[in-house]
Amino acid sequence: MLHIRETDDTLTRVIGAGLSTAVPLIIGLMIGNMRVATFGSLGAFAFLSFQPFSTPKLARRIFIVGISIMAGLFIGGLSSMLPWTSPIALGFVSLVGFLICRILRIPNPGPFFVIMVTAMGTGLKLQFLHLLQAVSYVGIGVLASIFWACLAGYFNHRYLKRPYKDDTKTIREHLYEAVEQDSALLLSSVHHAAIIFFATYLAQSLGLGNSYWSAISCAAVLQGRELKVIFHRNIQRIIGGVVGLAIGMFFFSLNLSTVNTVVVLIILNFFVEYAMVRNYGLANFFTNPLALLLANLSSSAFAIELVEYRFYGLVLGSLIGFIGAALISFSMKMYEKELTLARKSHETEPNKLA
């Protein structure tokens, strides 16, 4: 649980991610508008798609992810006006996200943060014009992410001598390759999206406050590529989440001022970014209090639920994610078995005719 995994991750990336979040937090604090801080911090998640690309390519990548996050918040916010559409909206965004990331072979976190922000959008209580304003605030975090990502990438290449990663394939080439070599592309993506849809629908049906926590936990668990990895992530997320909620309750008990809350959020974000690639369970010690404090920072925008609903959503989403992943694993093995038998049958037909 507390084993620190060796990684080639640089502190430059960790610092860049932290500063991307700090920019909208500080701007919101300076102008006295904490919605800028809250929604701008969501845009800063675009930094987490950082890859060692050349500066123009990295800026384009962060920009596209940022636009996707803004679109996700808008779709989620629209669905909050008709709550019964929230599972549909989350299922749709999840399906598109899984398909695109699998076709383009985009590594983790893949579509997770787009799904997460869409899920958080379903918990908004904003009128349409205020929703558009919130989406524009997200853009502040996206711009900050582009700036710090390009600076971090240049520093890594210029001073740490880290080579740029080069992917010369076009989108069309990736698509052709996926269609020809990834026969389970559509089936797997539909399964993942259906599981997130079900987690959201069930949480709504059970009346667990904001159902988006179940969807987020489910999407986080489904990031694992193998069932064994998903099982370990599931245990780590539940244990780490419980500890994180206890830490969040401790911060709430301190009755922190707005300034102190912003400082704590910036510090927590640095810890999250450092721990995420080294120990997933440890990272959850910090993600949960960060999420609670961030949502509470602008409680007039989000429907704030009790910590107990956060816990229920955490456990429910994690369990649904694991059970769904097990079903996916079983169905994919059956599919591959049938595919192998069909190929063997096709290969033996010419011999029978001869």
**What does residue 302 show for φ and ψ, rounded to 5 degrees?**
-100, 145
Report pLDDT for 253.
Answer: 83
Report pLDDT for 138.
Answer: 96
Report pLDDT for 312.
Answer: 82
- The residue type at 240: G
Q: Helical H runs in the chain?
A: 11-31, 34-43, 55-80, 86-103, 112-121, 128-158, 171-181, 185-206, 212-221, 227-253, 258-276, 280-297, 307-353
How far apart CA 34 and CA 294 sit, in angstroms, is 10
Q: What is the 3-state secondary structure (H, E, C) of 134-169?
A: HHHHHHHHHHHHHHHHHHHHHHHHHCCCCCCCCCCC
- The residue type at 293: L
User: Could you give the C-alpha distances from 148 to 22, 62, 117, in angstroms and in order?
Assistant: 11, 10, 21
Report pLDDT for 128.
Answer: 93
For each of the chain's 354 residues, which pLDDT tens digit applies? Answer: 556 677 778 889 999 999 999 999 999 999 999 899 999 999 999 998 898 899 999 999 999 999 999 999 999 999 989 888 999 999 999 999 999 988 888 887 788 889 989 998 988 888 999 999 999 999 999 999 999 999 999 999 999 888 888 767 777 887 888 777 776 778 788 888 999 999 999 988 888 767 788 888 888 888 766 666 677 777 877 888 888 888 888 888 888 888 998 999 999 888 888 887 777 777 878 888 887 788 777 665 555 556 777 788 888 888 888 888 788 777 767 766 766 776 676 666 555 545
Report field, pTM of the whole predicted structure over 0.85:
yes
* 117, 69 contact by CB (below 8 A): yes
Report pLDDT for 174.
Answer: 79
Pick from 302, 300, 317, 305: which is nearest to 80 by CA?
A: 302
Return the DSSP state at 124: B
Report pLDDT for 288.
Answer: 80
How far apart CA 48 and CA 108 sit, in angstroms, is 9
Hey, where are the domains in the chain?
11-163+171-344
Q: Which two tokens stand for residue 239?
A: 């244990």
Report pLDDT for 207.
Answer: 80
Report pLDDT for 310.
Answer: 77
Q: Which two tokens stand for residue 194?
A: 């259906």
Dihedral of CA 191/51/15/261: which sign? Answer: negative
Using only C-alpha atoms, the chain has a radius of gyration, in whole angstroms, of 21
Residues 6+ apart with CB under 8 A from 258: 29, 34, 297
Tell me the CA end-to-end span of the chain in Å, nearest whole number. 60
Q: Which two tokens stand for residue 321?
A: 């994610």
The 10 Å CB-count burial string (b at 16+, else e) for 217-256 is: bbbbbbbbeeeeebeebbebbbebbbbbbebbeebeeeeb
